[in-house]
Amino acid sequence: MSAARHINQVVLIVAVSLLCLHPSFSQSTTVSPVQVGVVTEKVVIPSHPDQSYAVYLPTNYTPDHSWPIVFCLDPRARGKTAIEHFVVGGEKYGYVVVCSNNSRNGLNWPLISDIFSNFWDDAHSRFNIDVKRTYAAGFSGGSRLASTFASKCQGCLAGVIGCGAGFPGEIEPNPKAPFAYFGIVGVDDFNFGEMWQLEKKFNNLTTPYHFETFSGGHEWPPRENIEQALAWLRLREIKPSTTTVDKNFLEDQLKLRLTTAEKLLASQQFVDAQRAFVSVVQDFQGLIDTADAKKKAEQLSKSGELKKAVVADEELYRRQLREAGEIRMLWMKPAEPDDTGLSHSEVTSRLSELKKKRDLTTDSRDRRLARRILTQLTIESYEAAQASLRSSDYSPALVNLQLVEEIDPKSPNVSYEVARVYALKRQKKPALQSLEKAVSLGFKDGSRLKTDDAFNSLTDEPRFQKLLTTLTAQ
């Protein structure tokens, strides 16, 4: 995520310009060999056989006419994982969905631009795509990438579904680069505050937008939220002057949206309820009567309950930033001669309290705050460790990974990463101890251990060979 905030603007603008000028931007009516109605996990790009993407074609797809499409980006190149969230909505509303198996966080911009260009090129040559109904969707770093391309490609994308993250730091919503935006974030997501701030920016623009929350953390939203996002995009395609409006679709959507808003109001989720009623008015204006929704939105806007909820949300966001920053500062603080480990001791104590609140069974502001802080610390520390490893700066990498391990001491993968850094530092004993811990916690990838160059200094150690034999035998 943090890597996405440091964009090389010149490279990106050139790359996206080339993408939009690419000959294949104009659609092809080539008959697709991809099976309809099922997820195809890997469609190889012939011009770049090391690159591929997952595809879902609606059951009634034919190349005889053009179709709307969603280009989907996952931060860890998990095309199949991502596309499964779109299947129900894609089938119901007739969207082709393609999800990259190569686009991921941590790649440099020339490479990521090349991947997206090849992805775009092959999809346009393989399927009959409606260029006016071409969208992008992404989660986390993939969401930032989707927003970046939509902002820079001068109209090649009609909209974005942004999940779990907003725009990169250097790019703002801009009325001169208009595209519809559907934002979704979990209430426990450490990026919740960021998405909340992004919604405020859209409030000051005429650009079509919609924001929703779901019960969850930093993850792809549930299928029903993605389905609603696709329904919203379809709704945006309907113009008030259109003579062949699907009345059933409009009425069903209005009923669903009003029911959702009423449920939020009944459960005293005043901010979400206000957002839901206002959105109904914005989205259905000129298409169907929304007088009831407008009245309730106005009543809520004047209520003391809403004002209190907004103030509480603002305070929660400030506390998250402050407490996460304090914990990282204490953990990363260089040891001083008279330091008896008090900094780490304080962090351990604070993390313990946060984990207790995180594990509460009932939703509350305290639980949401704890989950957001712990996830933020985990992701920031892990990304900082990876950045240090890329520059062979092993000490800060180790300290950052140890913070992740303090937060999640039962993760075999974190213990494995800690062992790698110890091995790279030529500290054999702690490296072996961390490896043994990883195996005891469930690490089972013997082939990874055998081929990992980080452990070259340990290959002659009996304890290492024993671990390798144990994993190979499984």
Mean pLDDT estimate for the chain: 90
Of 204, 237, 270, the residue at which a domain comes to its end is 237
Task: Summarize the confidence of residues 129-151 as an average pLDDT.
Answer: 95
From the number of C-beta atoms within 10 Å of its C-beta (0-12, 13-18, 19+), residue 363 rates as exposed
Of 376, 393, 409, the residue at which a domain comes to its end is 409
Task: Summarize the confidence of residues 318-341 as an average pLDDT.
Answer: 84
Do residue 13 and residue 158 come from a single domain? yes
pLDDT reading at 225 higher than 60: yes
Do residue 68 and residue 204 come from a single domain? yes
Nearest to 75 by CA among 33, 46, 104: 104
pLDDT reading at 244 higher than 90: no
| Of 77-86, 133-142, 169-178, the least confident | 169-178
pLDDT reading at 15 higher than 70: no
Do residue 11 and residue 144 come from a single domain? yes
How many alpha carbons lie under 13 Å from residue 178 in its C-beta half-sphere? 7
What pLDDT does residue 337 have?
A: 56
What pLDDT does residue 21 have?
A: 42
Task: Summarize the confidence of residues 70-97 as an average pLDDT.
Answer: 97
Do residue 345 and residue 213 come from a single domain? no
| Token pair listed for 3 | 């890597």
Q: Is residue 451 in a domain?
A: no
Of 237, 252, 277, the residue at which a domain comes to its end is 237
pLDDT level of residue 6 (50, 70, 90 thresholds): very low
Nearest to 123 by CA among 223, 191, 55, 217: 55
| Of 74-78, 196-200, 231-235, 343-347, the least confident | 343-347
pLDDT level of residue 472 (50, 70, 90 thresholds): confident
Q: Is residue 453 in a domain?
A: no
Q: Are 331 and 403 in contact (CB under 8 A)?
A: yes
Q: Are 103 and 115 in contact (CB under 8 A)?
A: yes
What pLDDT does residue 334 have?
A: 78
Q: Is residue 420 in a domain?
A: no
Do residue 331 and residue 222 come from a single domain? no
149-185 pLDDT, tens digit per residue, is 999 887 899 999 999 999 998 899 988 878 999 999 9
Task: Summarize the confidence of residues 125-148 as an average pLDDT.
Answer: 96
Do residue 317 and residue 177 come from a single domain? no
Do residue 182 and residue 315 come from a single domain? no
269-309 pLDDT, tens digit per residue, is 999 999 999 999 999 988 889 999 999 999 999 999 999 99
Nearest to 406 by CA among 445, 350, 358: 350
Percent of the chain whose pLDDT exceeds 70: 91
Do residue 125 and residue 223 come from a single domain? yes
More confident: 33 or 66: 66
| Of 80-94, 170-184, 381-395, the least confident | 170-184
Distance CA 281, CA 471 (A): 59
Q: Is residue 39 in a domain?
A: yes
| Token pair listed for 284 | 């259905």
Do residue 69 and residue 218 come from a single domain? yes
Q: Is residue 292 in a domain?
A: no
Q: Is residue 203 in a domain?
A: yes
CATH number of the domain that 46 lies in? 3.40.50.1820
Q: Is residue 380 in a domain?
A: yes
Q: Are 354 and 370 in contact (CB under 8 A)?
A: yes
The parent domain of residue 162 ranges over 2-237
pLDDT reading at 33 higher than 90: no
What pLDDT does residue 339 have?
A: 57
| Token pair listed for 29 | 């009516």
Do residue 313 and residue 198 come from a single domain? no
pLDDT reading at 9 higher than 70: no
pLDDT level of residue 1 (50, 70, 90 thresholds): very low
Element (H, E) at 234: helix 223-237
* Tally of domains within the chain: 2
pLDDT reading at 27 higher than 50: no
Do residue 128 and residue 34 come from a single domain? yes
Quick one: CA dihedral 117, 184, 68, 157, positive or negative?
Answer: negative
Do residue 316 and residue 181 come from a single domain? no
- CB-based contacts of 210, cutoff 8 Å, min separation 6: 181, 182, 183, 229, 232, 279, 282, 283
Q: Is residue 268 in a domain?
A: no
